[in-house]
Amino acid sequence: MLTVLNSILYFKVSTVQSRPPSEHHIEKRHLLQMCELISKYTNRSCLEYNNYGCFCGLGNTATHTGVDDVDNCCRLHDQCYGQVHCFWFFPQLVGYSINCTSHADCYCSDSPQYASCAYSTCMCDLTLAQCLAQHQYHSAFKNFDRRHCHLLGL
């Protein structure tokens, strides 16, 4: 048993030491990871996107399209989570490994073959952060009254 523990410890230490010094490795619980990615790519707090439009944040009620491109990023993220197969886990609760350089260039480092749930969840979050970075944030849609999503046919 001690040999197994030593092997695991050696693997963990050698894995950490083998990373290039310019990379930042993120390994936390999932919601914090998503927030860190959003912040890294957009220079905004993830809380600024909570309750934005019809899709960003918990409890979205829309079915077709968002109020703007940022909201559509969140819609696509919701759809991405719907495609993730994590057995009995919700993707929102799955942690993953991700590596980032100092210039918001990140990649998911879990194995797509052996940790497909973590890898897929990471890819959904990374795609969201990249999408949000490409579109303008409109403060008028923060705390958007979601009853309007149904009225607008969204």
Residues annotated within the binding site for Ca(2+) are 55, 57, 59, 78
Residues 15 and 9: beta-carbon distance below 8 Å: no
| Nearest Cα to Cα of residue 38 among 22, 67, 30 | 30
Binding residues, as ranges, are 55, 57, 59, 78
Q: Is 64 labeled as catalytic in the residue annotation?
A: no
Give the Cα separation of 143 and 154 in Å (integer). Answer: 16
Residue type, 34: M
Q: Is 69 labeled as catalytic in the residue annotation?
A: no
Residue of 125, 135, 145, 150 marked active site: 125
Residue of 30, 68, 71, 77 marked active site: 77
| Nearest Cα to Cα of residue 98 among 14, 13, 11, 40 | 40
Alpha carbon of 34 to those of 7, 39, 41, 82: distances in Å?
31, 9, 11, 16
List active site positions: 77, 125
